[in-house]
Amino acid sequence: MAAFTKRILGGNGLKVGPLGLAASYGAPAEAFEEAFEKGCNYFYLGSGRHKAGMRQAIRNLCRQGQRDRLVITIQTYARFGFLTEWFFKRNLRSIW
C-alpha cells in the first residue's frame, strides 16, 4: 500500500508509517492489530484511561514475534525525572 510507505522518525533511525494510533479512544485490540497488519506500526500509549485494547494488541503482536516492527510511545505528564521513570516503568509493566 503506497500510502503506508515507512519513513524515518527523527534522527533515531526508527521506521514508521505516516499514521500513528493513540490508545485513548478505547478501540478494541482487534482494531489495533488490523491497523498493524495494514502498515500502521506507531502506537501512542497516552495517559488516558482507555488503554486496555492497545495494551492487549501490543501483547498479542509481541507474542507473534512482531516486537521489532512496533514503535511504541509512552506519554507522561511528570515534571520530575524520578516520576518520569516511575510512570514509564509502570506503563511497561502494564503492557507485559
Q: What is the mean pLDDT of the chain?
A: 87
Under 8 Å between Cβ of 42 and 19: yes
pLDDT value of position 70: 94
Rounded average pLDDT over 11-39 = 89
pLDDT value of position 29: 95
pTM of the model: 0.82
Kindly report which listed range (48-52, 53-57, 77-81, 88-92) carries the lowest average pLDDT score.
48-52
Give which of 52, 28, 31 is closest to 40, Cα–Cα.
Answer: 31
Under 8 Å between Cβ of 21 and 38: no
Parse the chain into domains and list their residue ranges. Answer: 15-95
Determine the Cα–Cα distance for residues 66 and 41; give it in Å rounded to an integer.
10
The β-bridge relationship of strands 71-74 and 42-45 is: parallel
